[in-house]
Amino acid sequence: MSGALGGLLCTLCAAQQAAAPPVAISLEEAIKRAQSANTAFAAANANTTIAQSQHTIARSLLLPNVVYHNQFLYTQGTGQPATAPIKFIANNAVHEYVSQGSVTETIGGIGIAEYKLSAAAAAAAHARFEVARRGLVVTVVANYYGVFDADAKLAAAQRALDEANHFSTITAKREANDEVAHADSVRSDLQVQQRQREFNDAKVVADRARLDLGVMLFSDPSTPYTLTTSFDEFPALPSRSEVEAAAMANNPELKAAMESLRASQHAVTASKFAYFPDLVLNYSYGIDAPQFAVKAPDGTRNLGYSASATLDIPVWDWFATRSRVHQSVALREQANTELTVTQRQLIASLKEAYQEAQVSLDQLRLLDKSVQSATESLRLTTLRYSSGEGSILEVVDSQNTLVLAETSRADGAARYFNALANLQTLTGSMPR
């Protein structure tokens, strides 16, 4: 009974899902949805939050620390009453009550250097978060326009199948009228079978592409959706100078390397400050008396204050500070090398990405012309064959040419959008 009920519920859920209208997904919405479900993006976001918290902690260590201290101390006395002299001389009385507010401030170079180090580390973490965000955008764009690419190929395969069926009908009629040999009918049937196989393969690829994108967007990857961004309108490519200026100003990898170098410089400073003394100031106000009261039994006030200043001068630490300085200097040199390499890679990546975008745009324009020419060629060839002036081989060749042109055009469009996304990782914004 329970199994039948479960089957009925599954059937109802499937029916409701089938009846639900497809979700309209723009590219911006796809990126937003993917950010909420991507583990690498979530990890980068968490690292940014942690680094910012570390910066806040470092800042708090530079500010005065305020606590309200409460303590009861009991010490063995020499006899009765409790006010008799004490045996254990570490305390001031047999019963001692401490209840006072205490303000402590440490003045030293290490805290200031570590505060600056944490600021640079937080900025570097934010830059690495931006690297992860832009990398996710590239992945989403590839999958988003991959669906368009697969759908365009599926449409081309469907058109080619319809064209092959139409041509097979024409060939059968001409054979019935003794206008062509039976070999033409056999060849047209083979063409239909090939187009059917190509359509089946294209359908599988299109379904897989939709599922791959659905995994990034929905808790149920099989959720039906439609893509609202156009696959036929191509953003203009910015000028080379605009792209270079944006990359130098907004490249997160370069900024992360620069902030890492700045953090390593502050780490060197912090390690060197260990050679210098720290000044600790303390001020306390409250009760430190044998009675937990504002006034003693004799009427004197127990409330009072104390202040202290402590200067700890480092003398000998078995070269630990020296080793920390050498360690931080080595890390600074490594960070400087990484910055230099990042700058070189940025120049090379920028040139390569821009050239890829420019070439893919030029290729896309040529592919549009190829599709137009192949379409016209197929139309004319089919007319010539119908009038008995052309051969079946010419028609088959024209059909193959058009299919190749349409699939290449779909790949070319996806290539251009992917090239723009790669440029976005360097410049910070998608061209529109």
Q: What's the CA angle centered on 226, arms 224 and 232, to 5 degrees?
A: 155
Q: Could you give the angle at the alpha carbon of 369 between the alpha carbons of 367 and 372, nearest 5°?
A: 110
Residue 267 has what pLDDT?
A: 94
Residue 168, pLDDT above cutoff 80 = yes
Q: What is the band of 177 on the pLDDT scale with cuts at 50, 70, 90?
A: confident
Question: How distant, in Å, are the alpha carbons of 20, 229, 279 from that of 30?
Answer: 19, 10, 55
| pLDDT confidence of residue 389 | 81
All residues at 6 or more sequence positions from 110 whose CB lies less than 8 Å from its CB, including other chains: 270, 273, 274, 278
Is a pLDDT exceeding 90 seen at residue 69?
no
Residue 373 CB contacts under 8 Å (≥ 6 apart), including other chains: 405
Least confident of 112-116, 250-254, 297-301: 297-301
Q: What is the mean pLDDT of residues 7-21?
A: 53
The DSSP bridge pattern shows strands 95-107 and 225-227 to be: unpaired
Query: CA-CA distances (angstroms) from residue 389 to 177, 305, 306, 381?
Result: 16, 114, 114, 9
* pLDDT bucket at 86, cuts 50 / 70 / 90: low
Q: Which of 8-17, 53-62, 197-206, 234-243 has the lowest mean pLDDT?
A: 8-17
The C-alpha torsion from 369 through 370 and 372 to 378, rounded to 10°, is 160
- Domains plus CATH for the chain? 24-63+109-275+319-427 (1.20.1600.10), 65-107+277-313 (2.20.200)
Q: Which tens digits make up the pLDDT trace of 180-238?
A: 788 888 888 998 999 999 999 999 999 999 999 999 999 999 899 999 988 777 888 88
- State residue 92's pLDDT score: 73
Higher pLDDT, 165 or 83: 165
pLDDT in tens, 374-414: 999 999 988 888 887 878 888 889 889 999 999 999 999 99
- Per residue, the 3-state secondary structure of 1-28, as one string, reads CHHHHHHHHHHHHHHHHHHCCCEEECHH
Predicted model pTM: 0.79
The predicted pLDDT at position 170 comes to 86
Tell me which residue of 306, 12, 5, 266 sits closest to 123, measured CA to CA: 266
**pLDDT at residue 12 greater than cutoff 50:** no
Measured distance CA(266)–CA(328) in Å, rounded = 9
Q: Is the peptide bond before 81 cis (omega within 30 degrees of 0)?
A: yes
Comparing 134-143, 283-292, 329-338, 389-398, the range with the smallest average pLDDT is 389-398
What is the SS3 string spanning 267-302? Answer: HHHHHHHHHCCEEEEEEEEEEEECCCCCECCCCCEC
pLDDT at 79: 60
- Are the C-beta atoms of residues 265 and 117 closer than 8 Å to each other? no
Residue 6 has pLDDT above 90, yes or no: no
The pLDDT assigned to 218 comes to 92
The tokens describing 194, both together, are 């090939």
